[in-house]
Amino acid sequence: MSPELIEAAAIKLFSEKTYPVVGMRDISDAVGLLPGSLYVHISKKEDLLQRIVENGIQRYLDAIEPVVESDQTAPERLRGAINAHMGVLAESLEQTRVAFHQWTYLASTGRRRVVKLRRRYEALFSQIIDEGIEAGEFRSVKSARVTVLAIIGMLNSATEWFSPTGELTAEEIAEVLTDGVLTGLEA
């Protein structure tokens, strides 16, 4: 039994039922193993959640970091970052639901590691906004941090309403979202 299959089953279960409701027996049933046999592959359920959350956030970092580090204008980088976010969401909706909304079930050590990743994610958007304000591409705002948190909140809430089979593609939704954000930030 591959760890990837176990992780995929756990992602589906955690996404549908939430981490606290899912037991090791549920995971073992989903992959066709006896509960005792599952422990050969994972030591405890929380380790599985930790891996799912960290890998989920890392996917976003890997997609957005190159956009932020490019030499495009701040509005272009913001558009690219939002588009990259929505692209990852379209590929990993269930994992994103778990990574962005169930990390709080982790114990303090694991939670601290996730908070570091979440801060890196926030810092990417902060860099774009700060550099855009400094370059005069965005207007000065009362609180750049609140602006960044509003953008992130908008993106994170997409896990609740986005559907890969919906009327608009992830790219089209990213365009609509970015147009709204950029209208509010126009210099």
pLDDT at residue number 75: 97
Same domain as 57, residue 35 = no
82-98 mean pLDDT: 97
Question: How many domains would you assign to the chain?
Answer: 2
Same domain as 127, residue 85 = yes
Using pLDDT thresholds of 50, 70 and 90, give the confidence band for residue 3: confident
Same domain as 91, residue 50 = yes
Q: How far is 120 from 58, CA to CA, in rounded Å?
A: 10
Same domain as 71, residue 32 = no
Of 130, 138, 140, 135, the C-alpha closest to 186 is: 138
Same domain as 170, residue 118 = yes
Answer yes or no: is pLDDT of 1 > 90: no
Mean confidence (pLDDT) of the chain: 95
Which range of residues forms the domain containing residue 8? 1-43
Tens of pLDDT, residues 107-166 = 999 999 999 999 999 999 999 999 999 999 999 999 999 999 999 999 999 999 999 999
Same domain as 103, residue 181 = yes
CATH of residue 132's domain is 1.10.357.10
Polymer length in residues for the chain = 187
